[in-house]
Amino acid sequence: MIELRFHEELYDGFAIDEAVKTYAAYATAELSRDGGAYVVKVTAKPEATQQGIEERVLSAELANYALGLSIERARETRAGETAREGGAA
């Protein structure tokens, strides 16, 4: 089992949920919150390890996916805010 901690100010909770769902075929994940961080405990499924997928690599890929989605969501939010500001002006 590998514990990943994602800071709440830098990662989006929905993005983490989405990443966990995406990798659900390869790993089981336990989600919680602790001290301003989203905590994800990742355990690779036996099918994944049989295919030669390392738990370490799986966790890192899940974290990358969560980061990518967090960035995309942050951009969308920012773009929406800018559009609203422009509309109000």
**Site residues (CB under 8 A) for other proteins?**
2-7, 9-11, 37, 56, 59-61, 63-64, 67-68, 70-71, 74-75, 78, 86, 89
Q: How far is CA 5 from CA 19, 57, 65, in A?
A: 14, 16, 14
Judged by CB, which is closer to other proteins: 53, or 74?
74
Place of tokens 């773009």: 79
For residue 70, the minimal CB distance to other proteins (Å) is 8
By beta-carbon proximity to other proteins, the closer residue of 3 and 30 is 3
> What gap in Å lies between CA 53 and CA 56, rounded to an integer?
9
**Smallest separation (angstroms) from other proteins to the CB of 86:** 6
- Within 10 Å of residue 36's Cβ, how many Cβ atoms? 9
Tokens 């659900």, residue located: 24
Q: How far is the CB of 54 from other proteins (least distance, A)?
A: 10
